[in-house]
Amino acid sequence: MNYQIELRHFVYFLAVAEELHYRKAAEKLFISQPGLSTQIKQMEEILGTQLFVRDKKKVSLTPAGEFLKKEVEFILNHLDQTKKQVKLIGDGQLGEVRIGFLGSAMQNVVPNLLLGLKEKYPTVHTTLEELSNRAQINAILTDRLDLGFVRLSRVPKGLDVKPVFEDTFSLVLPEDHPLDAKHFKNINQVADEDFILFSQDYSPMYYDTVLSICEDSGFVPHVSHKSVHAQTIFKLVENKLGIAIVPTTLQYGFQMKVKFIEMKKIKQRAVLSMVWKTDNRNPALQKCMDLLQKL
C-alpha cells in the first residue's frame, strides 16, 4: 500500500533497464524472476508511472523509464563514491579525487598536481584514468569522475571549465627530414606532406585548431592517418608515413627517432582545461582546485 522506494528498487530497475529481459536481469541479481517482477511492479506503483512496456515478447523503457535510468545511474554512482568518502574520512583521510585526463596532460599538469597533493595533502587519495574528452565529460556528468583535463572550449551546462595550461604547437618530423629548426620559416614549407593527427572524436578542438593553423598558411593539409595515441603518431612519423602537429610538451617522455620544431610564432595555442561539476561537494576536490590555482 504505502511502501517507500528503496535503493534495492533502483538496483533492480537498472538491471532490467539494461537487460530489457526479466529472467536475465534476475539471474544477474541472483534473485528469482517472480521476485523481480513484483518489485518492479511495486516500484511503478510507488512512482505512479509505468516504467517498462511489456509488449508481446518484448520489454522496453517508457520515456519516464528512460529518464529514470539516467538518474539512477547517477544516484548509484554518487552513492558508491559517498560510501568510499565516508570510510576514508572516518579513517582520518581527506577523501578521494577521481581524475580523468587526456594523454597529453600526463607530461606536465597531472604529475605536478599529484606531486603537490602528495606534499600538501598526503591524505587525499587519487584515482587516475586516461580518457577522451567526451568520455571525461560523460563520467563527470554521471559522477564517476570528479575532475577532468580536457581540450574543449565549451562544456555542457552544470560543468565548469578553467584553462590550466597553454602550450605552443610543434611540428613533428622524422629525424632525418631535410627541414630543421634553423631553416623553418612557415608551415607551408611542408604543405605537400601527409599529416598524421589526433582523431576528431578524441579531441575535436585540437583537430579544428590544427586545421586553422594550416588554413592561416593558406593550405588544407592532407590527413593520411588519425590516432588517439601520441605514441602511435610518433611511430608513424618515425616510419616516414607522414608528419604531425602536436602540443609541444608531448616531446618529453617519448623515446622516438623524431624531431620537434616548436612553432612559437603561430598564434594558436593548445589549451588544456580542467573541468568539474559545478556543484561537486567532494572536499578533496576543493584541495585539488586550490593547488591548481598555483601551478
Partner DNA sequence: ATAATTAATAAGTATGAATTATCAAATTGA
Partner DNA sequence: TCAATTTGATAATTCATACTTATTAATTAT
Q: Residues interacting with DNA, by CB under 7 A?
A: 3, 8, 12, 21-24, 30-35, 37-42, 54, 56-57, 59
Binding-site partner at residue 220 among DNA, its own copies, none, CB < 5 to 8 Å by type: none
91-94 — which CB contacts under 8 Å span 24+ positions? 92/123, 93/123, 93/124, 93/125, 94/121, 94/123, 94/124, 94/283, 94/284, 94/287
Q: Does 3 bind its own copies (CB under 8 A)?
A: no
Question: Positive or negative CA dihedral for 115, 253, 259, 199?
Answer: negative
Taking phi over 0 as left and psi of -120 to 50 as alpha, with beta for the rest, 245 belongs to beta
Minimum gap (Å) between residue 160 Cβ and DNA: 20
Annotate 189-218 with DSSP letters as a single string. GGTTSEEEEE-TTT-HHHHHHHHHHHHHTT
**155: helix, coil or strand?**
coil
Q: Which is nearer to DNA, 21 or 225 (CB)?
A: 21
Q: Which is nearer to DNA, 38 or 188 (CB)?
A: 38
Q: Which is nearer to DNA, 26 or 147 (CB)?
A: 26
Minimum gap (Å) between residue 36 Cβ and its own copies: 16
Give how far Cα 192 sits from Cα of 128, 196, 214, 262, Å: 40, 13, 11, 19
Q: Which is nearer to its own copies, 20 or 86 (CB)?
A: 86
Q: How far apart are CA 231 and CA 52, in angstroms?
A: 46
Region 84-123 residues binding its own copies, contact defined as CB under 8 A: 85-87, 89-91, 95-96
First to last CA, the chain: 58
Among 111, 163, 253, 283, binds its own copies (CB under 8 A): 283
Q: Which is nearer to its own copies, 7 or 181 (CB)?
A: 7
Among 133, 251, 273, 282, binds its own copies (CB under 8 A): 282
Q: Which is nearer to its own copies, 58 or 294 (CB)?
A: 58
Q: Which is nearer to its own copies, 44 or 167 (CB)?
A: 44
Q: How far apart are CA 45 and CA 270, in angstroms?
A: 53
Compute CA 18 distance to the chain's CA centroid, rounded to the nearest angstrom: 23
Minimum gap (Å) between residue 1 Cβ and DNA: 7
> Minimal CA–CA distance to 57: which of 24, 17, 20?
20
The site that binds its own copies (CB under 8 A) totals a number of residues, namely 38
Region 37-66 residues binding its own copies, contact defined as CB under 8 A: 47-51, 53, 55, 62-64
- Amino acid letter, residue 228: V
Helix axes 283-294, 109-120, angle to 10 degrees: 120
Is the distance from CB of 71 to CB of 103 less than 8 angstroms?
Answer: no
Minimum gap (Å) between residue 142 Cβ and its own copies: 13
Minimum gap (Å) between residue 7 Cβ and its own copies: 5
Q: Does 82 bind its own copies (CB under 8 A)?
A: yes
Compute CA 60 distance to the chain's CA centroid, rounded to the nearest angstrom: 30
Binding-site partner at residue 75 among its own copies, DNA, none, CB < 5 to 8 Å by type: its own copies
Binding-site partner at residue 50 among DNA, its own copies, none, CB < 5 to 8 Å by type: its own copies
What does the binding site for its own copies look like in residue numbers (CB under 8 A)?
4-8, 47-51, 53, 55, 62-64, 67-68, 70-71, 74-75, 78-79, 82-83, 85-87, 89-91, 95-96, 279, 281-284
